[in-house]
Structure 1
Amino acid sequence: MSEVSRPTRRWPRLLILIALSLTLHALLVDWGRRHIIVPGQSDAPAPTLTVELHPVPPPEQPVALPMQPKPARPAISRSHPAPAPRRARAPEPSIEPPDEPIRETVERITTPAPEAPQAVAPAAPASGSGQAAQGNGEGTGSASGTGSSEGQEAAPGKQYQTSAPPSVLLEYDVTGTKDQQPAYGRGSIAWTNDGSHYRVEGKAKALFFTLLNFTSVGELDAWGVSPELYTEQKGFKSATNTHFNRQRNEVSFSASTTRYPRHGGEQDRASLIWQLAAIGRGDAAQFQPGTVIDLFVAGVRDGEIWRVQVLGQEAINLPVGHVQTWHVVRMPKPGSYDDRVDIWLAPQHEWYPVRVRYTDLRPNGDYTQLDLTDLKTPGS
């Protein structure tokens, strides 16, 4: 009886297991439908992105920009092309006055232009010594170059009686105009004389800008001041060298291929002033009103004869005091773009240049003037 009842008791258990299994499968199918999305069969709508715009508040201090009217567009002719637009010129920085006020008001001098003296016939070339014959006429200097690799043969210049000034440091006030606007600055010239050689170093500044740097070195010989190398730099331009080669007896330039023969007495733009001072110290009688001193002067690319005329004695007021001077002037050739150069040499101060002025003779040209403010000798 007990053996027959055992299988009968197992059936309820099996039915309960089957019911639980079916319930579990139903739950799994329902969970899968909710969480597993089959591509292409999802009915859920795509999510949307909502953007809300807020107005920007106006600035506290609005800036009103000036409105420029549009220029009328010119009609373009088919027969003539339209002109190219001009490029606006960049404004140059203005030069402000220095911290210390300039101690003298500069006024333009009104000196008559020197009359060009009669041309002098070139002298015969010198003998093997290379020195010019002494004469009572005006010197002829060296000849101008041709712009090619070799200059034309030239007669040597006149040999003056000279005595170079002693060493000194000269300091200047620099005044003038730049594009017709006042310009102010400081400058200095250091002259060193050791008896047989010389060195000149000059500098002109306006505030923090260096307008001009130059150096001239050479010998002191029978011709007076005889340069060997001249270096010049203006503004931000590259420096240039002018060579007075004694071995080849040639004047050459780093900025051009021009060549000139060297005979003696040639000058550069810095040594010229000191050669004039040496002529005055050598014999003051060589300075007479109306006298013309001809010297070949080499610049940075070429050279030419400078005719320096003695205008006469002139008393001027400077920051260092009242000074008696000899006023000389160099006038460029008509049509030249070179500057007029005025120099005031003071015999009471070893013939040092106490005032120098460079004037652009073109219409609306500018000028630059150096006025002596201090004079320092070795040991002073």
Structure 2
Amino acid sequence: MTETKAFPSSRRWRIVALIVCTILLHVLAIHWGAASFNAAKADDQASTSMNVTLVQLEQPKQPVSLPVAAKQKPPKPRPTPVPKAPPPTEEPTSSIVETSSALVPDAQPGPALGETAAAAALAADASTPSPAADKTTPKTEQGTQYQFDPPPSADLEYDVHAFFDNLDWHGTSTQIWKTGDNRYSVDGEVYVRMFAKITFLTYSSQGDLNEFGVSPEIYTEKKRNRPATNTHFNRERNLVSFSSSTITYPRVGGEQDRASIIWQLAAIGRGDASKFAPGAVIDMFVAGVRDGEVWRMQIIGKEEIRLSDGAHQAWHVVRQPRPGSYDQRLDIWLTPDKQWYPARLRFTETNGDYLEMSLSNLKTR
């Protein structure tokens, strides 16, 4: 009786109906969520652009061979000008000839004036030591010479899938590559859009296009919630230095930063595709934000990758850190049928976190 008084029959039915509606709503929500998850999973399986299986590689056995500038052809030596012989004078009279012969006793016929000048020039050349005979001439520098053809200017957009802090993140990355007047610049950004745009990384690199290919002058990097850092490639002091450390390295030419190295590889591929062969190695000194080291870029081979516009053959290039290093692994896929632009990039940390970028839009200038 007490319960009946506290909850009349009409109210009890309302409570039961509310509970039933709540249960139905939860069932519908679970069903909708499962359907959405399965659809997303099916989409992921349908597209292989973001599925990568990394294989541990053996360290290269080839000796390190850093890039050297192509030797300039020595200019051809100019021929020594030979003065012309004076024009012949009128034949003197016999009396003058007799007088002249009397003034120059025992005169012997000698070489012509032109022959005398040529002999003097040869003697002067012989007295000048040749570079081969000069013991102070430096020995030929050891290294590898490359032919370069940087890709045309372009705007590139990538789909991003990142995993860190035990969470999956999906976002967008852009790279703006510009060339002109023997200069280059590349500006990049990685971000996600939720309620607002959240930028995780911005970077830029600029410098010259010269006999070493892509030659940076300054590299700037800014990570979320961290101050920006600068890496300088000083040409006047021939020094590589960092704003975030006191470490310095001599600058001899061919050094790269973490952004320019990708475009340097593309320039080598366009200029000398023979350097891309399975098992080959391309060595570059790469400066980061605090220090630098030689990166051994291993050419794995050609692989088929799927992008938003279909399947493409791409050269897979890997930079694998030395054992015991805490530096990240870098995988690059360069597509010859797309001007050797980087079509896919993957940065993998030692703890398994990664950031993967797959080209979704390309606009050349």
Q: Identify the TM-score tier after normalising by the shorter chain.
A: 0.5 to 0.7
Matching of residue 271 in structure 1 with residue 260 in structure 2: yes
Q: How does 1:118-267 map to 2 (within 5 A)?
A: 118-120=62-64, 131=69, 158-207=144-193, 208-267=197-256
Q: Is the 8 A contact 1:331 1:341 kept in 2?
A: yes
Q: Is the 8 A contact 1:132 1:156 kept in 2?
A: no
Q: Which runs of 5+ in 2 are unaligned?
A: 1-39, 73-140
Matching of residue 349 in structure 1 with residue 338 in structure 2: yes
Alignment length (residue pairs): 252
Q: Is the 8 A contact 1:291 1:310 kept in 2?
A: yes
Q: Is the 8 A contact 2:205 2:219 kept in 1?
A: yes
Which amino acid in 2 is paired with 1:359?
T
1:105-142 deviations in Å (ceiling 9; x for gaps) = 6323133414322434x89xx9xxx84779xxxxxxxx
Query: Residue in 1 aligned with 2:354?
Result: 367
Once the two structures are TM-superposed, the CA of residue 377 in structure 1 deviates from its matched residue by 1.2
The CA distance in 1 between the partners of 2:359 and 2:142, in whole Å, is 34
**Which one of 313, 329, 334 corresponds to residue 324 of structure 1?**
313
Query: Residue in 2 aligned with 1:115?
Result: 59
Q: Is the 8 A contact 1:157 1:265 kept in 2?
A: no
Q: Is the 8 A contact 1:216 1:227 kept in 2?
A: yes
Matching of residue 300 in structure 1 with residue 289 in structure 2: yes
RMSD of aligned residue pairs (Cα, Å): 2.5
1:169-202 deviations in Å (ceiling 9; x for gaps) = 0000000211232111000000001140000000
Q: Is the 8 A contact 2:268 2:275 kept in 1?
A: yes
Once the two structures are TM-superposed, the CA of residue 164 in structure 1 deviates from its matched residue by 0.7
The CA distance in 1 between the partners of 2:322 and 2:187, in whole Å, is 28
Q: How does 1:73-112 map to 2 (within 5 A)?
A: 104=47, 106-112=50-56
Q: Is the 8 A contact 2:70 2:211 kept in 1?
A: no
Q: Is the 8 A contact 1:290 1:310 kept in 2?
A: yes
Q: In 2 relative to 1, CA 226–355 (structure 1 residues): closer, same or farther, beyond 3 Å?
A: same
Q: Is the 8 A contact 1:156 1:263 kept in 2?
A: no
1:258-281 deviations in Å (ceiling 9; x for gaps) = 110001100000000000000000
Query: Residue in 1 aligned with 2:94?
Result: none
Q: Is the 8 A contact 1:197 1:220 kept in 2?
A: yes
Task: Pick the structure with greater CA Rg.
Answer: 1
Query: Residue in 2 aligned with 1:376?
Result: 363
Q: In 2 relative to 1, CA 366–110 (structure 1 residues): closer, same or farther, beyond 3 Å?
A: same
Q: Is the 8 A contact 2:346 2:354 kept in 1?
A: yes
Q: Which runs of 5+ in 1 are unaligned?
A: 1-99, 135-154
Q: Is the 8 A contact 2:278 2:300 kept in 1?
A: yes
1:319-370 deviations in Å (ceiling 9; x for gaps) = 13211110000000111111110000000111000000011123xx211100
Q: Is the 8 A contact 2:70 2:146 kept in 1?
A: no
The CA distance in 2 between the partners of 1:157 and 1:367, in whole Å, is 33
Secondary structure, aligned partner of 2:264: helix
The CA distance in 2 between the partners of 1:373 and 1:200, in whole Å, is 18
TM-score by length of 2: 0.65
The CA distance in 1 between the partners of 2:323 and 2:169, in whole Å, is 27
> Which is richer in helix?
2
The CA distance in 2 between the partners of 1:218 and 1:357, in whole Å, is 25
Query: Residue in 2 aligned with 1:282?
Result: 271
Q: In 2 relative to 1, CA 206–330 (structure 1 residues): closer, same or farther, beyond 3 Å?
A: same
Secondary structure, aligned partner of 1:165: coil
The CA distance in 1 between the partners of 2:267 and 2:152, in whole Å, is 10
1:221-253 deviations in Å (ceiling 9; x for gaps) = 011000000000011211000000001111000
